[in-house]
Structure 1
């Protein structure tokens, strides 16, 4: 990571790093895991006094990859990549992370293999996850610093997530905001329900983009990030997602998974300040579903 010291920045090196959102564990990594800090090409320590205009290069110490996630070869659709993070387009039918005692291939396993083949650290830092049968854009950070920087903007204006869903019925009004608290289903812990007493505030914006005879395609923006948020909110307003057997208990012959896809991410890069607008087009099974619904 590179920084240029500004007039308003702290001038003691350690305080500068704290100001730049380095966590205690990351400072410890720099100090104890062979991390290096160069100021104007010279190796410096935490007590060094900086001057405005100094050029700084941070080389983090090696992170030890977890043995719980094994590298596994697999197809990876890379949408964006730099030295800080990786954005991929996940297909449906594959989990984001391995469950305990689970040896099946997940996106984390494939990403770890991909990074190691490139000679990069294979430590997995999952920033956003998707349900097994939800497709679309997922973000992995390449180190703990990038992870913490992304995590800090994850639910603000600098990190906006948009989904496309095909739902039962014609949604009325055609656009709006669902503001209903979501909690854990007391009968089935892996499911979520609207819970006015114990639920956490959950907000989803939606807008209809196409109407069919008895279905709608809607674009959704998450304002909060609850588990199964879109699936629960759509069911709550009477328009569950087509193919979402978990929340409808209805087998859908037209598609074999919930018709939900993370289609766009708008991210202000937390290190470079570049504005990224990343997209993933509708997958084939949802495209086919639209064609069938159009008749």
Structure 2
């Protein structure tokens, strides 16, 4: 199997091209092998997509021959209702026809919420896509809390989002963070495995609880230091699962809440947000299958604490 993707000025629909490698295989079976979801096929059929073999439109029951050129045109996407198009500044680390990797500042939501309905990354990406003439909406692959800074990944199309979801379940998307926490951690390395669920008394707060979802975080100490006599530790964290507030909850659970994280027991004396930054993101590209690795430096507010 080989494939490529294209966008052209005449047709803004996302298009994938494949080369058939089995005689007699039904187009439906080949599309499943190429990881085109049933949902995508339904959208292609009813929402303005197109399936062609050697340039001629065919249905999914068409029998393929080795060397047939299959083209899949996905329908244009419409943004979610309530997602306002805005044109804020984006810090683009990497971009191609499939993926957008951004460096998110602190104090900006990834997606709109009731408290912050505008000025999110998603709002700005909608505007960015519109300026590119891209018939797509925002598909967040790796999300960050509003006050967490660093790398996040967005898929430019529903099919790419589907492929990235499969990759995440296989462990082919990896993120590492750096944080500054209260106190000195006793061990240079530890693995925290503790289930996380929503706190009964809050719609926002999470906690470690027996009936929670499995959550696993590895913690490596980078530096133990003190600011104005207060002990702190600079740590690096690897996520094996992606639960809401996972790092914040786990570090609070082991008695070392993040500096600035007043929701989970941290103090805001030295910084006005949780001191947490996504420093690295590695993934397998959903189309080329190349392994890609991105890094991001700590923001000034965290760096300032470390320099004290």
Common fold, TM-score beyond 0.5? yes
Coarse TM-score class (shorter-chain normalised): over 0.9
Which secondary structure does the structure 2 equivalent of 1:154 belong to? helix
1:15 to 16, 25, 29: 29
Q: Is the 8 A contact 1:11 1:49 kept in 2?
A: yes
Alignment: residue pair count = 289
Q: 1:100-150 deviations in whole A, cap 9, x for unaligned?
A: 485321010001100110110241211221111000111111111111110
State yes or no: 1:252 paired with 2:265: no
> What root-mean-square deviation, in Å, do the aligned CA atoms of Structure 1 and Structure 2 show?
1.8
Q: 1:200-255 deviations in whole A, cap 9, x for unaligned?
A: 1110011112221321111111111110000000111111111101111x542211
Residue 290 (structure 2) aligns with: 274
State yes or no: 1:229 paired with 2:246: yes
Residue 98 (structure 2) aligns with: 84
Where do 4+ consecutive residues of structure 1 move more than 4 Å?
none
Provide the rounded CA distance (Å) in 2 between the counterparts of 1:284 and 1:185: 33
Farther-moved stretch of structure 1 (93-102 vs 279-288) = 93-102
1:187 to 197, 201, 204: 201
Residue 306 (structure 2) aligns with: 290
Provide the rounded CA distance (Å) in 2 between the counterparts of 1:225 and 1:254: 27
Q: Is the 8 A contact 2:259 2:267 kept in 1?
A: no
Which secondary structure does the structure 1 equivalent of 2:89 belong to? coil
In structure 1, stretches of 5+ residues that fail to align are none
Residue 87 (structure 2) aligns with: 73
Residue 159 (structure 1) aligns with: 173
Which secondary structure does the structure 1 equivalent of 2:142 belong to? coil
In structure 2, stretches of 5+ residues that fail to align are 1-15
Provide the rounded CA distance (Å) in 1 between the counterparts of 2:269 and 2:164: 39
TM-score (norm 1): 0.92
Residue 205 (structure 1) aligns with: 218
Q: CA deviation at 1:165?
A: 0.8
Q: Is the 8 A contact 1:204 1:221 kept in 2?
A: yes
